[in-house]
Amino acid sequence: MDLKVRFALFGVLAAALLPIAAQAQGPALERRVPNAAELRLSYAPVVQRVAPAVVNVYAAKTVQTRNPLFEDPIFRRFFGVPGDAGNQTQRSLGSGVIVDASGLIVTNVHVIEGADEIKVSLADKREFEATVVLKDPRTDLAVLRVKTSTEKFPVLDFANSDTLEVGDVVLAIGNPFGVGQTVTHGIISALARTQVGVSDYQFFIQTDAAINPGNSGGALVDLTGKLVGINTAIFSRSGGSQGVGFAIPANMVRVVVTSAKTGGSAVKRPWLGAKLQAVTADIADSMSLKRPAGALISSVTPNGPAARGGLKPGDLIVSVDGQAVDDTNAFDYRFATRPLGGSARLGIVRAGQELAATVALQTAPDLPREEITIRSRSPFSGVKVANLSPALADELQIQNIDSGVVVLDVDNGSYASNLGFQRGDVIEEVNGRRITVTKELDAAAKTPSGAWRIIIVRRGQKISAVFGG
């Protein structure tokens, strides 16, 4: 075919297709100058409504400091440097949200951890002292109460965070870098983030609204002015915002606040009475699953809610009250945010068949903890211990042990601290003697010994150690 003919045919085809293409694209977008009403569109009405309920949180704690030169006797002799340790005040800043008109404030545990003094500053610059009502390290949430009996404070209402969708517009309000109350905006970038690693319950809202140091404990709100989350962490290589921030969902915050309002010293959550494990690709293949998702039951506690609901080892939990469960973190969140006293309907897969089980929503059984702090001269000097129960095991995330004696705390600078005892250690045996309750450990610690042979269980691993007397 002649080259000119080819070009002519191409021109005819192009001319024929252009109207079709234009029709498929629809009418051209109109370019125009926005009118005055559109220019006045603003988030200001939302900010004005919610900002008074967001506070700045200032925490201070006193720590002992000691110059290493103080330990040198020659230096002390010639220069007269005193050997006593000095005190230094460390300060931290963060944000908080008023959730009750009486002055109940929710913030992050890491904002107020170890604080001797806590103050909150309102948007109108007034300052109040505050006390800690409840701390929940498992969620990194703490509840404070303002020291006043007459003031009625503005509050934020909770949204249902389970209704959020990726792309929803949100505002973050807090006190970044201590510059004062600041508002940023963005969208929900992702939901159910489980690899953040800042608390036991890994089910975070991700947002690109700018969150910086000092925003911790601040509010993430929707455009109706309701609280959808508490800002708690950022992913950053520089220390500043890089568009990846994380917030604790409001439905989890509500559980912690409810426990604080009822006067509890610890958060009460439903207990399944079963151990769960992640579904790997190999497990998914062996179960003929389309993808590795769900929470696999590895063991069931006799007479617990799971056992009474008919659940068995090998069952795969795929939903809680109709909400999908992608992994064990998702199950923990979905189950923990269910209200106590009722029941939850679990969707399960057993031997390839889809079934449903009804599980009672009740707390784990607790025992008299009989908390004591060991003071006698022994490797345990300075440890605070308690009787382990299913409730305490659930609180400390101790797997496969429901009884014994567990370390709750270790005094800084104590003999036990220097030897490396940690919160959550289960003390199993001392000098060949089985330890089952705190009184037995106290008696063993008071018995003089030339050498101490101790067996503890830490994160599922048995550790044997020998210490001199």
Structural domains of the chain, with CATH: 50-146 (2.40.10.10), 161-261 (2.40.10.10), 274-360 (2.30.42.10), 372-468 (2.30.42.10)
Contacts of 448 by beta carbon, 8 Å cutoff, 6+ apart: 469
Contact by Cβ (8 Å): 314, 281: no
Q: Which of 136, 140, 332, 394 is catalytic?
A: 140
For residue 22, what pLDDT is reported?
Answer: 45
Catalytic residue status for 216: yes
Q: Which of 161, 189, 199, 216 is catalytic?
A: 216
- What type of residue sits at position 436? T
Cα 259 to Cα 104: distance, rounded to the nearest angstrom: 12
- Given a cut of 50, the residues of the chain with pLDDT beneath it are 1-24, 77-79, 81, 83-84
Reading phi first (left if > 0) and then psi (alpha if -120 to 50, else beta), residue 420 is in left
For residue 197, what pLDDT is reported?
Answer: 61
For residue 11, what pLDDT is reported?
Answer: 41
| Phi, psi for 69 (deg, rounded to 5) | -65, -25
For residue 236, what pLDDT is reported?
Answer: 61
| Phi, psi for 443 (deg, rounded to 5) | -65, -40
For residue 14, what pLDDT is reported?
Answer: 42
| Phi, psi for 284 (deg, rounded to 5) | -60, -40
Catalytic residue status for 326: no
For residue 160, what pLDDT is reported?
Answer: 94
Measured on CA atoms in the order 447, 448, 450, 452, is the torsion positive or negative? Answer: positive
Catalytic residue status for 208: no
Length of the chain: 469
Q: Which of 95, 110, 189, 208 is catalytic?
A: 110
